[in-house]
Amino acid sequence: MSSIYSISSAHQSPARSSDQKIAQCTVSCVYQTHIAGHCDCGVEQEHHVELVVDLCGKRGATFMVDGNQLELYWDLRSAKLSGPELSNDFYVALVSDEEVVLLLGDMEKKAYKTTKARAAMVKALMFYKEEHVFGKKSFSTRMRFDQGKEHEVVVESSTAGDKDPEMWISIDGIVLIHIRNLQWKFRGNQTVVVNKQPVQVFWDVHAWLFSSPGAGHGLFIFKAVGEGDSEGDDDTQCDGSDCSGPSKYCSTDSYSKTVETCFFLYAWKIE
| Structure confidence by residue, pLDDT tens digits, 86-115 | 889 999 999 999 999 999 999 999 999 999
Q: Categorize the per-residue pLDDT at 248 as very low, low, confident or very high, splitting at 50, 70 and 90.
A: very low
Q: What is the pTM of this model?
A: 0.77
Query: Is 121 in contact with 100 (CB distance < 8 Å)?
Result: no
Domains in the chain (CATH in brackets) are 2-13+29-126 (no CATH), 130-230+258-269 (2.40.128)
Q: What is the pLDDT of residues 57-85, one digit of tens each?
A: 667 888 887 788 889 999 988 888 877 78
**Mean pLDDT of the chain, nearest integer:** 79
